[in-house]
Amino acid sequence: MKLNKNEQNYLLTILFKSYILQSVICSGIILVCTVSLDMGLTWVLDRYVEHYYLIYRGLYVYMVGLILWVVCILYLTYKLLKKVVNYVYELQAATGKLFDKSVDYIELSPELSEIAININRLKQEAENNARLAQENEQRKNDMIMYLAHDLKTPLSSVIGYLTLLHDDEQQISQELREKYLSISLDKAERLEDLINEFFEITRFNLSNITLQYSNINLTRLLEQLIYEFKPILKEKNLKCTLNSTSDIMLHCDANKIQRVFDNLLRNAVIYSYTDTEVAITTELQENTIVITFENFGNPIAEEKLKLIFEQFYRVDTSRNTTSGGAGLGLAIAKHIVELHKGTIVAHSKDECIKFIVTLPLS
């Protein structure tokens, strides 16, 4: 693990400050002892030995002091190197515990406290990422299993009704024939929707979304979107209103942004109460535009709001996929909005659900 400059300076300061301090203290003690011994021997020999200068040289004492000083410095240097090696071994052992789930917190020497904090932060992020990846993979596998299972129902119905039409072609009445054909068509369309969801999962995971910018009239785009949703709105007797300043120009990828709004409006229609209203509002704020999709339906719990933009997550966790998709619509919408340097959030209060998209105008 590479250390940043501050951590390197911190370690060097701690290690060499201690080394230099010990070296200075050791040198001072040896110097004081050597000088004191030289002065003491000189005084004793001068007092009690005649002609001592013929046999005594103070150089001998200083040579002994020098040898002791060298031995002391070598010992302190050895301790320094040993400590550095121990730190290396300690860091090596710590990195080995990064992916050990049985270890909650990695402890290091006080001198490595900053590194210990970073290692534990890295360990926590790695565990969180592994958990999220596992949850996403599980959701994806469950959704594919559910979709594959649900493919059987419309397919069996289509085959069954077509078989009846084929076998009893001469005897079956016109009214019953039209009924069987209508049911077969509905089931075939449902089958097509399910197959498209498989392709949606593949496209979302295997390709990167790229943007092609152009200037669009946001108000006209929303008006067109509402017009296209009229048949779907009519099925649940929903009313969709647009409260927007005319001719708001937005610099964006028109197709991708339309997909975001399509997902949000479709989501609002699916989860709205019958005979209620879906409201779309735009508001200019400095250099940004805020688009709000508001509908009335079952409240969304706070813990679900935190997960609602994750891949393969569905608010309705029931296995039946008739009323919802593969749980990719909001995840894709968030990804597209963030590519445009914008934000998307969800709020739920009582029975009012809001999705708020904020985009830069240019």
pLDDT tens digits along 227-280:
888 888 888 899 999 998 878 889 999 888 988 898 899 889 988 999 999 999
pTM: 0.52
What homologous superfamily does CATH list for 214-360? Histidine kinase-like ATPase, C-terminal domain (3.30.565.10)
CB environment 120-148: b (16+ within 10 A), e (fewer): beebeeeeeeeeeeeebeebbeebeebbe
150, 324 contact by CB (below 8 A) = no
- Residue 190's pLDDT is what? 72
- Domain residue spans of the chain: 9-97, 125-206, 214-360
Percentage of residues in the chain with pLDDT exceeding 70? 81
Q: Is the pLDDT of residue 312 over 70?
A: no
**Is the confidence at residue 317, as pLDDT, over 50?**
no
The torsion angles phi and psi of 298, rounded to 5 degrees, stand at -60, 135
Is CATH 1.10.287.130 what the domain over 125-206 is classified as, yes or no?
yes
Could you give the CA distance from residue 179 to residue 170 in angstroms, rounded to a whole number? 16
CA proximity to 204, closest of 323, 317, 311: 311
Averaging pLDDT over each range in 44-58, 121-135, 144-158, 290-304, which range is the top one? 290-304
| Residue 328: per-residue pLDDT | 64
